[in-house]
Chains A and B, each alone.
Chain A
Amino acid sequence: DVVMTQTPVSLSLAIGQPASISCKSSQSLVHSDGKTYLSWILQRPGQSPKRLIYLVSKLDSGVPDRFSGSGSETEFTLKISRVEAEDLGVYYCWQATHFPQTFGGGTKLELK
């Protein structure tokens, strides 16, 4: 299975600060169709997970543009330009290029 390694495990930031979460895969996530099936999801406290970004950098509808995704092959990053209170929760990267699909271990964003 493809191992997805997320860092840091936790992040404590004040509102307005930038955030960056890294996700590294044990194999290239470029599919034979040329696409890279790497998504980022957020689970806020008491809520179900919500996808924020798909195909590395495409924002889902309604996701604020303070979120951005980047990366290629085996290294990917989620950035929040300025953290807001509603951003707290656990972030996961998720690959669907290789079978079986696998998740990162999660990064908990807390507000300082």
Chain B
Amino acid sequence: EVQLQESGPGLVKPSQSLSLTCSVTGYSITSNYWGWIRKFPGNKMEWMGYISYSGSTSYNPSLKSRISITRDTSKNQFFLQLNSVTTEDTATYYCARGTGSPWGPGTMVTVSS
């Protein structure tokens, strides 16, 4: 069974970087696509980007040059880094395989001083 688990700090200060890890078990990240999606307070969902089986990446232009998704195939993990965060980046962050099956349980990140 494929399982994903997000981890990382729950509180980040404005202007700093948000860094999250998605640990995958039961499936190799060298197959398929692996993405990050966030849900803002109030239900709005935003696709942030993905890293492919080959290591290529694709990012939502709304995040401009703030986002980076990388991976460690030896640990079967992939990572999200979002730079220069503001309070508007407060959300629950999810990692997911492909187009949404399955998702991790999510991790809530608050941006606040």
Q: List residues of A whose CB falls within 8 A of some B CB.
A: 37, 39, 41, 43, 47-51, 54, 60, 90, 92, 94, 96, 99-103, 105-106, 108
Contacts and interface: CB of A to CB of B under 8 A. Distances in A.
Interface in B72-113: 94, 96, 99-106
B100 A54 contact: yes
Interface of B: 39, 43-47, 58, 60-62, 94, 96, 99-106
B100 A103 contact: no
Contacts, number: 54
Contacts of A54: 99-101
Among B61, B103, B105, B106, the one with the most A-chain Cβ atoms within 10 Å of its Cβ is B103
Given A100-B60, A108-B43, 11 more contacts: A48-B94, A50-B102, A51-B99, A51-B101, A60-B101, A94-B45, A94-B99, A102-B47, A103-B46, A105-B43, A106-B45
Given A48-B94, A48-B105, A41 B100 contact: yes
